Amino acid sequence: MNRRIVVGAALYDDGRLLAARRTAPPELAGRWELPGGKVEPGERCEDALLRELREELGVEAELTGRVPGEWPLAKGYTLRVWAARLVSGEPEPLEDHDALRWLAPDEVWSVDWVSADVPAVAAALALPHATH
């Protein structure tokens, strides 16, 4: 069975979590998500996530740990999330997004997250290293 995996990053810098606002598809446009993307055939999840962060945001990141759990998405995809920290670069919305926001811990729920990302964000926030 070849499950289709989408990887997401709970990307932190100075204790703040990065949220990205989607431009498509229409039903998700304007809502916020954790940056990431689809895993290509034969690609490790971790490698896919680092590639997606380079392509979507223009940054280098270090994965610091897997967020426990998996979350179902539309069209048979499954979301897996890793905590990550910004290593170099200033994130810019290069693909699929029109805005980025760094959210302090008390601002995380101030944006309209894509429904599927809500439990993933909550799980990421529960990690002991979430603010580092």
23-60 pLDDT, tens digit each: 988 999 999 999 999 999 999 999 999 999 999 999 99
102-118 pLDDT, tens digit each: 999 999 999 999 999 99
Kindly report the CATH number assigned to the domain that includes residue 76: 3.90.79.10
Read off the pTM: 0.92
Rounded to an integer, the average pLDDT of 6-12 is: 97
Neighbours of 88 (CB within 10 A): 9
In a domain, 130, yes or no: no
What the block records as the tokens of 107 is 């601002």
Asked if 29 and 22 count as a contact pair (C-beta separation under 8 A), the reply is: yes
Structural domain count of the chain: 1
In a domain, 81, yes or no: yes
Enclosing domain of residue 64: 4-125
pLDDT band at 129 (very low <50, low <70, confident <90, very high): low
